[in-house]
Chains A and B, each alone.
Chain A
Amino acid sequence: MQAAVIVFPGSNCDRDVAVCLEAAMGQAPLMAWHGDAALPKCDLIVLPGGFSYGDYLRCGSMAANSPIMREVVAQAQKGAAVLGICNGFQVLTECGLLPGVLMQNTGLNFVCRNTRLTVTNNKTAFTVQYAAGEEITVPVAHNEGNYFADDDTLKQLQDENRIAFTYAPGDNPNGACLDIAGISDKAGRIVGMMPHPERRAEAALGGEDGKRMFTGIVEALS
């Protein structure tokens, strides 16, 4: 299984997610540089959290136009599994692989804390090891995590069962529509989410609820 973590200038969760992938796969993922125009054929591509290009323009928009993203989009369209976490989710919406947009939190402040999530769809490639409706705890850390899409898009996401995670009732940290924490493409191969499963993937860090994202995708792909 070949996995790659894309490193944009300003990515800062690239190492964290690589640690989790290595633990799940038994081998280190490829760390792919944003400026490279080519990417070896991958089964799994992860867009990590951070502040790509400083996020001085709209979050993720510069990264969405970087050379490597043409390769990521091309491989995604051929069926590679893609996970975007936090800034990676923002990049996925900016490059059109997922619909909607991540706006500034309604509280107007950066927020870093644990959130309770409901696994709304356990049929995506990344959620196979969770039970449908299971509640898990995973932290968020973002300033722009307020998921927004027009009513038609939201209805489509619901109808196609593409809402992967929602914040548990009363625990929405950013004002996201329908309490959306993460969504997928129609095939369930591309998932974007604001919470950071890589930050809660071992007992020493407070819990292991995030670990099954990584062991799950390895199971789904092998």
Chain B
Amino acid sequence: MSNSQRHINDTQITDEIVAEHGLTPDEYQMVCDHMGRTPNYTELGVFSVMWSEHCSYKSSRKWLKKLPVDGPQVIQGPGENAGVIDIGDGDAAVFKMESHNHPSFIEPYQGAATGVGGIMRDVFTMGARPVANLNALRFGQPDHPKTRHLVAGVVSGIGGYGNCIGVPTVGGEINFDKSYNGNILVNAMCVGVARTDKIFYAAATGIGSPVVYVGSKTGRDGIHGATMASAEFDDASDEKRPTVQVGDPFTEKLLLEACQELMASDAIIGIQDMGAAGLTSSSVEMADKGGVGIWLDLDKVPCRETHMTGYEMLLSESQERMLMVLKPGREAEAEAIFTRWGLDFAVIGELTDTGRMVVSHEGQTIADMPLGPLADGAPEYERPYVPTATAPAFDAALLTKAPDMGAALKTLMASSEIASRRWVYEQYDSMVMGDTLAGPGGDAAMVRVHGTDKALAISTDVTPRYCFADPVEGGKQAVAEAYRNISATGATPLAITNCLNFGNPERPEIMGQFVGCLEGMGDAGRALNFPVVSGNVSLYNETNGTGIMPTPAIGGVGLLKQLDKAVGNRLTSNGHVIYLLGETHGHLGASLYQRDVLANDTVFAPPPVDLEKEAAHGAFVRAAIDDGLLAAAHDISDGGLAVALAEMSIGHGIGANITADGDAAFWFGEDQARYILVVEADDAVALEARVGDLPLTRIGTSGGTDLQFADKVTISVVELHDLNEGWFPALMQG
């Protein structure tokens, strides 16, 4: 045994060491009870990461169980590396969204890059080829001194990784708000496609089967990353930079191709990405799911640094590594594939019948732990919570100071939320793989299933303002907006993944936000037949006691069976008839108009979500698209009707004459379940004939180079375009 190893396991476990590992005294006592003795230092490290909030979901599990996870389209719900849904013809979509918030704040390039790399591994571990990446990003105020640096670093990191590996980044969303000044959010989503009969799972079975390590070598990077991600930040957070991993997209590309090649055979029993908590969590999860034990010989682990202790090898979060259990006797053919791709391949252990994880290093057993408690033994906390107080309705008296409609629209088109994200998405390769039908900038991205005539529609959504003002309605709205964005392309929404970003769950008001948002998301998922198939929870997004706005990001996936039926969200021609589908009550509470035009931050109630109407209006839009009636469709969200119309105009520089009329609440209210539908003049009668009881209002006609509102306000489309395009470059130039 090396001196360092002997030293580390000889360390007396003190209260301070337990606290440094993020375990409470009670949790430590539970560890001792499970072990039947005091754990040594290595064992303590393993327990601490497996029982971290990030890995164990100990504060959230109780509430996650209440989400809808079933449906005829679901092949695999939460609990695996990624969710799997049936998209017909023997094809499956495999997807998940995951946070990389804490590392991205400390080191934005590598934090974001490894977030992208990690989520892609979760998807290709399941046997899928990744076909689309999306990113839901939240930054602090635009003028906060750190914001530009963080935006530049995160965007560059996302591009640096995704562009190199050659998976298109096709969409996402970005918000700016002061609540993210000290905790940015980087949520990466990946969607892959597999054959339904070639899905790979983590469970390892077969006593004596070889445990195989493939990919990059192990270094000291990322040790205790999962523990860092389970704690609040303070002013000394920059000192945590060594816990941020470093990404190597080139190696991931090789790993992807090698795994795909091996997966074409039947040599693999189980496979698991080494993500958070690295070798520890991958081996524990595989063995525990298979109901077996596991023995690891760390002397066999490929290392890129010398004198690494077993503790470091077990807890390293070095990237681009996979753990597999192979059928006995198939090692040579697997090794040949990985060697051809220039990757490490090492048999580092085998499955046992002990139900324990036993780890050897330098001839000694350095850890011997029961698997069950490691995997599932973390305490499930019923954190006390206080439901968020009901916010008052919007105070209409504020409108006495409102600017005129045209000025308000210009303000919104150049606001941080509405401004074009071109500066960002042009740094992402959105077209590689040759199947991107609709890239960034639309309602939902559309990616063809390679070699077929069908397409996936994908959208990420949440409105944190709403979730803060009313978590239940905000949770509903996040799901409903994803549903609308997908429906507006013509695709049928099938399932969602989520990434639940909140503050410190030990504070009852934060836990109240969490409970409320999940209630709303659950209600919406059930009502819209839009179940949750995968997800991730990121808590402790707080700095110096200030939490973020509740941000339960939703990633929705839908299917369009005939891709040539898809419609876009832009006006494409003069003389088209423009309709508004849905009821307009002029709801301005928690609206962008309130925040950015009235510059008012009072907490007012957000728009309520009527899930029956969402379902009915979505079905109407999809059917109209399926029958070829629509020339364009656009979901109405931030900024209301006027902003939605302006967005449709600036795409191709085509104006419109809007004959409908109303006040600021009419133009900018954010009432839900609404779409703008555009038809050729010849199709107007047909659209109106099929609407039945649904509220469909003819509001104008496309044409010209201006947007005219009820003959009162006329704004040139070019001016709106320039305002919309100008904000982001101006921000980044300082």
Contacts and interface: CB of A to CB of B under 8 A. Distances in A.
A12 B165 contact: yes
Contacts of B165: 12
Interface string B152-193: 000010011001111000000000000000000000000000
Which secondary structure dominates chain B's binding surface?
mixed
B342 A112 contact: no
A148 to B, nearest CB: 22
Q: How large is the interface on B (under 10, 10 to 19, 20 to 34, 35 or more residues)?
A: 20 to 34
Nearest to B253: A10
Contact of B448 (A55, A143, A199, A204): A204
Interface string A38-65: 0000000000011101111000000000
Contacts of A110: 159-160, 163, 427-429
B63 interface: no
Given A51-B250, A113-B426, A204-B564, A16 B448 contact: no
Interface string A102-117: 0000000111110000
Contacts of B426: 109, 111-113
B164 A109 contact: no
Contact of A141 (B342, B432, B435): B432
Given A10-B164, A204-B564, A205-B437, A16 B248 contact: no
Interface in A4-29: 9-10, 12-13, 15-16, 19
A143 B432 CA distance: 14
B432 A13 contact: yes
B710 interface: no
A108 B165 CA distance: 20
A143 B249 CA distance: 15
Given A9-B254, A110-B427, A198 B163 contact: no
Contacts of B250: 9-10, 51, 53-56
A161 B231 CA distance: 63
B408 to A, nearest CB: 31
Interface in A80-113: 109-113
Given A19-B434, A196-B431, A205-B436, A141 B164 contact: no
Contacts of B385: none
A16 B436 CA distance: 12
B430 interface: yes
B433 A15 contact: yes
A145 to B, nearest CB: 13
A153 B600 CA distance: 61
B394 interface: no
Contacts of B159: 109-110
B717 interface: no
B563 interface: yes
A216 B519 CA distance: 59
A113 B440 CA distance: 11
A53 B341 CA distance: 11
Given A9-B342, A111-B426, A141 B431 contact: yes
Interface string B690-724: 00000000000000000000000000000000000
A141 B435 CA distance: 15
A43 B575 CA distance: 51
Contacts of B430: 112
Interface residues of A, number: 27
A50 B166 contact: yes
Nearest to A111: B426
Given A54-B164, A110-B163, A12 B253 contact: yes
B432 A16 contact: yes
B97 to A, nearest CB: 22
A16 B427 contact: no
A139 interface: yes
A50 B429 CA distance: 11
A50 B437 CA distance: 20
Nearest to A9: B254
Given A12-B166, A54-B164, A56-B250, A139 B427 contact: no
A199 B341 contact: no
A141 B437 contact: no
Best-buried of A55, A110, A198 by chain B (most CB within 10 Å): A110
A205 B429 CA distance: 14
Nearest to B342: A9
Interface string B208-222: 000000000000000
Interface string A197-210: 01100001100000
A141 B429 contact: yes
A9 B163 contact: no
B156 A54 contact: no
Interface string A166-209: 00000000000000000000000000000010110000110000
Interface string B430-466: 1111111100000000001000000000000000000
Interface string B352-395: 00000000000000000000000000000000000000000000
Contact of A9 (B253, B437, B448): B253
Interface string B541-570: 000000000000000000000011000000
A53 B433 CA distance: 19
Contacts of A56: 250
Contacts of A51: 163-164, 166, 249-250, 253
Given A51-B250, A56-B250, A204-B437, A12 B427 contact: no
15 contacts: A9-B250, A9-B254, A55-B164, A109-B427, A110-B160, A110-B427, A111-B426, A112-B163, A112-B425, A112-B428, A141-B163, A141-B431, A196-B431, A199-B431, A205-B431
Given A51-B166, A54-B164, A143-B163, 18 more contacts: A10-B253, A10-B254, A12-B166, A13-B432, A15-B433, A49-B432, A56-B250, A109-B156, A109-B159, A112-B163, A112-B428, A112-B431, A141-B429, A141-B432, A199-B431, A204-B564, A205-B431, A205-B434
Interface pairs A-B: 9 shortest CB-CB: A12-B166, A54-B250, A16-B434, A51-B164, A141-B429, A199-B431, A110-B427, A112-B429, A110-B159
Interface of A: 9-10, 12-13, 15-16, 19, 49-51, 53-56, 109-113, 139, 141, 143, 196, 198-199, 204-205
